A = this chain, B = another copy of it.
């Protein structure tokens, strides 16, 4: 008979080995130094660090530790489903179905109780209805524009993004979960688009 505690650890390590593949999923956004595109694993680290540093931008009922756990998990589905660039031409219903299947397969590698917990945390993030999930979403949306401002527009140039589109795709979720971050970011975006992205809009 297998020791159930050892079988549990085997399953946990299998999940952690599978998770290594997130390091090879590339996002639309470059690194700040422009040397290459960001991958979803290092992105996940960076936004967890954002949540920790920007904690005082959250509503008082937000648990930053739960937000960090959500953000550690939130992109793992991309191992199967790939990254859907926020400014890309994506079939959102098809993508949601693909991600839900990915979540079932990947979190299904874990011991049963833990798989259920992780799946619930991922679904809470996706639904964006709780204060924790809304702050997590705001943080996730805040990081890429800051990077793009630093390197000449980054993915905005490639995807021909307008300021109006940013107000909807980025502004709404940031403003909902972390209004102070949107107050900080919005004038910087307006200034950048005014100075550097005019040609594109015209």
Contact = CB atoms under 8 A, between A and B. Distances in A.
Interface of A: 5-6, 8-9, 12-13, 15-17, 19-24, 31-33, 35, 38-39, 41-42, 44-46, 48-50, 52-54, 56-57, 65, 68-69, 72-73, 110, 114, 143, 146-147, 150, 180-181, 184
Given A9-B57, A20-B33, A48-B48, 4 more contacts: A12-B53, A44-B45, A48-B68, A65-B68
Contacts of A31: 20, 23-24
A53 B114 contact: yes
A17 B150 contact: yes
Contact of A19 (B19, B38, B46): B46
B33 A24 contact: yes
Q: Is the interface of A mostly helix, strand, loop or mixed?
A: helix
Contacts of A147: 20
Contact of A68 (B41, B69, B110): B69
A184 B8 CA distance: 11
Contacts of A53: 12, 15-16, 110, 114
A48 B68 CA distance: 10
Contacts of A8: 56
A24 B20 contact: no
Given A24-B31, A52-B72, A68-B69, A16 B110 contact: no
A81 B38 CA distance: 22
